[in-house]
């Protein structure tokens, strides 16, 4: 009887779960050392603003300085061959003697294909597609305290102190204290959401600090989470005020793969509003960031596109005024 139960249980557990593990992408290693970033000066920040919009992909910010240091980095992190390995990227920057703001934003918009039906700006309900979500967790600390080997093995800023009684104590030397979506300090933002923290480098002018981008979740579609990252002069509060809408999903733009290669015509209002034009990530982000209805109008035009992030789950606005007056639709 007992052996029969074991056989029954074994028959019910024949799934390996491989579908939920992203496959490696040969073009994007899972461990990367990005080298040293320059701190983007307040003058560079001011020059990159167009109204309230910060143009992170401005060629001047992407360009390396005389020391080979980029200002804003766009890249992608892949999956390891062995899913038990931690993946991510590291970069360094020099302390300025004042406050700096470290920011990273994984692709694409913070809910990608999910939108709450309770949202006041929502006319549609989208089914969450977890195969297109990605997440990167940010950490920053003195390079001297980093326990990993850049480009070889990920680490953190936690060291162990053994007191005179022989008891070990774990001490965190992380300097990145960020507030998550519920404003709890020390938390992380979540899938596809921008993360940032202010680092006080008083007394650390010229001292090396390390930024850590831990790969928390990889999209299952291509096994790559694309992202943007940079270090800005000044504290994050000042950067939020300068950006108008703050450091949100729209602060770094075009971080999705191929989005920066699009022309202005391919992301114009006329192009994105034409149902006959193919869907693209630039339109998705622009519509999300610029229109009061977020993606509603764009998805209405592109609901039938196979590659568009607009999934038909049976919830639509009224098809005509008569139905609207009758109270049909959500």
Report pLDDT for 285: 78
Q: Which of 35-39, 132-136, 267-271 has the highest mean pLDDT?
A: 35-39
Sign of the CA dihedral running 303, 304, 305, 306: positive
> Which segments within 163-242 are labelled E, that is strand?
168-172, 195-200, 208-217, 225-233
Report pLDDT for 176: 92
| DSSP label at residue 71 | S
Report pLDDT for 215: 92
pLDDT category at 29 given cuts 50, 70, 90 is very high
Give Cβ neighbours of residue 55 (< 8 Å, ≥ 6 apart): 48, 49, 61, 253
Say which residue the tokens 């309900």 belong to: 125
Q: Which helix (H) or strand (E) holds 9?
A: helix 2-11
- Measured CA to CA, the distance from residue 193 to residue 137 in angstroms comes to 10
- 14 or 324: whose pLDDT is higher? 14
Give 310-329 pLDDT, tens digit per residue.
Answer: 655 444 444 444 443 333 33
pLDDT category at 62 given cuts 50, 70, 90 is very high
- Measured CA to CA, the distance from residue 88 to residue 327 in angstroms comes to 50
Percent of the chain with pLDDT over 90: 33
151: nearest Cα among 231, 212, 97, 192: 212
Domains of the chain, earliest start first: 22-261 (2.60.120.380), 262-309 (no CATH)
DSSP reduced 3-state for 320: coil
Is the pLDDT assigned to residue 296 strictly greater than 60?
A: yes
Tokens for 206, please give them.
């010229």
Query: Can you give the pTM of this predicted structure?
Result: 0.79
């Amino acid at each position: 009887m007992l052996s029969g139960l074991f056989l029954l249980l074994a028959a019910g557990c024949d799934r390996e779960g491989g579908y939920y593990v992203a496959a490696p992408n040969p073009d994007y290693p899972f461990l990367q050392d990005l080298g040293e970033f320059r701190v983007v000066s307040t003058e560079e920040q001011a020059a990159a603003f167009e109204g309230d919009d910060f143009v992170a992909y401005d060629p001047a910010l992407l360009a390396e300085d005389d020391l080979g240091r980029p200002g804003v980095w766009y890249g992608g992190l892949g999956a390891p061959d062995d899913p038990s390995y931690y993946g991510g990227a590291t970069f360094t920057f020099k302390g300025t003697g004042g406050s700096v703001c470290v920011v990273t934003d994984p692709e694409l918009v913070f809910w990608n294909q999910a939108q709450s039906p309770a949202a006041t700006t929502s006319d549609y309900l989208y089914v969450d597609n977890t195969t297109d979500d990605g997440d990167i967790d940010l950490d920053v600390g003195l390079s001297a305290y980093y326990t990993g080997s850049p480009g070889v093995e990920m680490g953190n800023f936690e060291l162990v102190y053994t007191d005179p009684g022989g008891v070990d104590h774990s001490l965190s030397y992380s300097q990145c204290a960020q507030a998550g979506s519920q404003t709890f300090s020390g938390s992380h933002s979540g899938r596809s959401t921008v993360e940032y923290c202010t680092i006080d480098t008083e007394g650390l002018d010229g001292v090396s600090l390390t930024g850590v981008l831990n790969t928390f979740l990889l999209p299952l579609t291509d096994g790559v989470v694309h992202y943007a990252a940079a270090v800005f002069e000044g504290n994050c509060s000042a950067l939020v005020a300068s950006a108008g809408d703050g450091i949100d999903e729209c602060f770094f733009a075009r971080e999705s793969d191929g989005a920066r290669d699009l022309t202005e015509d391919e992301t114009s209002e006329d192009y994105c509003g034409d149902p006959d034009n193919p869907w693209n990530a630039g339109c998705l982000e622009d519509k999300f960031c610029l229109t009061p209805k977020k993606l509603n109008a764009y998805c209405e035009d592109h609901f039938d596109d196979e590659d568009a992030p607009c999934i038909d789950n049976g919830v639509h606005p009224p098809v005509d005024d008569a139905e609207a007056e009758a109270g049909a639709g959500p």
